[in-house]
């Protein structure tokens, strides 16, 4: 999709994805305006200082819990990227109502604002934790996906269309195992929850590119899943600190041994493209014609980190480490 001259709204725009998305949009897509929406005035001021003199940025203080503010902030917008969320699993478990207000009610408010303003495209950032969730964060993301998908039925007579992007762990993100291992490497002691544990991995740059390249493909209701590599936690330790002592501490509450991005049930209405899988809605009440992009996946297909044919090796990860920066 040609984003030149477009007005783009990014909720959670001062987060790690938001900042990377802003950088890519300004450097490669020449939008008319990017509206950076977040509730953190300090991060907004820091971002303003980083882009002194950049006339295409607008900074909106606000919370996705506030529907009226969203409606006002998204007037005249061509694209919404909904990246705002409470993401820390323990914090969501301890503050369940807060997680629900931001991740579920916030998604509903974004949908309502997009419909009210006839925003042509809205993309939600989801997570592998939304698949068969075992923690509250994942459950809220599952709800957000369902809200965004069925928003297409509410908006059937308008220009607004909605879809989601679901991917795995971002390399180097806060709270992920890689920065933890990097910090522990100097101590000579690495703590591993379970050596069998596997995860999907994607770089922040890849996540941004994937989101922006789905815009031409979305017709409304899809969940886009990128084809990305997996890796065992034990192999990450091998890459970062091969000589360090290993201490097995056991799986943490709210964790799984492996993550799934496409389930067997979802495979019945999923299709495969060259770089991704597309999960189509089971109840596309807003359209009568079938989705035709790509080809159907095999019956019983399951895209899981433990059986993923694309595995990131220790050598490949080690090659990334000299340039790896922890995502702020």
Q: What domains are there in the chain, each with its CATH number? A: 7-168+202-228+260-303 (3.40.50.720)
Tell me, what's the pLDDT at 41? Answer: 96
* pTM passes above 0.85: yes
- Whole-number pLDDT of residue 47: 97
Low-confidence ranges of the chain (pLDDT < 50): 325-328
Q: Would residue 321 be called left, alpha or beta, if left means φ above 0 and alpha means ψ between -120 and 50 degrees?
A: alpha
34-81 tens-digit pLDDT: 999 999 999 999 999 999 999 999 999 999 999 999 999 999 999 999
pLDDT at 175: 62
Q: Tell me which of 87, 129, 141, 256 is the catalytic residue.
A: 129
HSE-CB of 212 using CA atoms within 13 angstroms = 25
pLDDT in tens, 240-285: 888 899 999 999 888 999 999 999 999 999 999 999 999 999 989 8
Among this protein's residues, is 129 annotated catalytic? yes
State residue 59 phi and psi, 5-degree precision: -110, 120
* Distances 132 to 111, 128, 179, 265, 276 between C-alpha atoms, Å: 24, 9, 27, 11, 20
Structure tokens of 239? 């890459």
Write down the pLDDT at residue 159.
92
Query: Can you give the pLDDT at residue 326?
Result: 43
């Amino acid at each position: 999709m040609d984003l030149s001259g477009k007005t783009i709204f990014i909720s959670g725009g001062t987060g790690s994805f938001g900042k990377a998305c802003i950088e890519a949009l300004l450097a490669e897509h020449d939008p008319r305006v990017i509206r950076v929406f977040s509730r953190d005035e300090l991060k907004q001021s820091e971002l303003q200082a980083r882009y002194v003199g950049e006339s295409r940025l607008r900074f909106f203080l606000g919370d996705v819990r506030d529907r009226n503010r969203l409606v006002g902030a998204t007037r005249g917008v061509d694209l919404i990227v909904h990246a705002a969320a409470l993401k820390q699993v323990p914090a969501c478990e301890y503050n369940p109502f807060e997680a629900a207000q931001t991740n579920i009610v916030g998604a509903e408010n974004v949908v309502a604002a997009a419909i009210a303003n006839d925003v042509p495209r809205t993309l939600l950032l989801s997570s592998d934790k939304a698949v068969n969730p075992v923690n509250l964060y994942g459950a809220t993301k599952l709800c957000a996906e369902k809200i965004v998908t069925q928003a297409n039925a509410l908006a059937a007579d308008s220009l607004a269309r909605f879809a989601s992007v679901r991917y795995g762990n971002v390399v180097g993100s806060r709270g992920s195992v890689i920065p933890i291992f990097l910090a522990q490497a100097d101590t000579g002691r690495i703590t591993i929850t379970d050596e069998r544990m596997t995860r999907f991995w994607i770089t922040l740059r890849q996540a941004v590119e994937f989101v922006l390249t789905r815009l031409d493909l979305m017709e409304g209701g899809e969940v886009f899943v990128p084809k990305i590599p997996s890796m065992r936690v034990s192999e990450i330790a091998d890459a970062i600190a091969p000589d360090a002592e290993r201490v097995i501490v056991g799986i943490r509450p709210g964790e799984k041994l492996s993550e799934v991005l496409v389930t067997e049930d979802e495979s019945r209405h999923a299709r495969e493209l060259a770089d991704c899988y597309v999960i189509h809605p089971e109840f596309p009440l807003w359209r009568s014609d079938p989705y035709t992009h790509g080809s159907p996946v095999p019956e019983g297909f399951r895209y899981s980190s433990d059986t993923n044919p694309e595995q990131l090796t220790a050598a490949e990860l080690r090659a990334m480490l000299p340039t790896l920066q922890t995502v702020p």
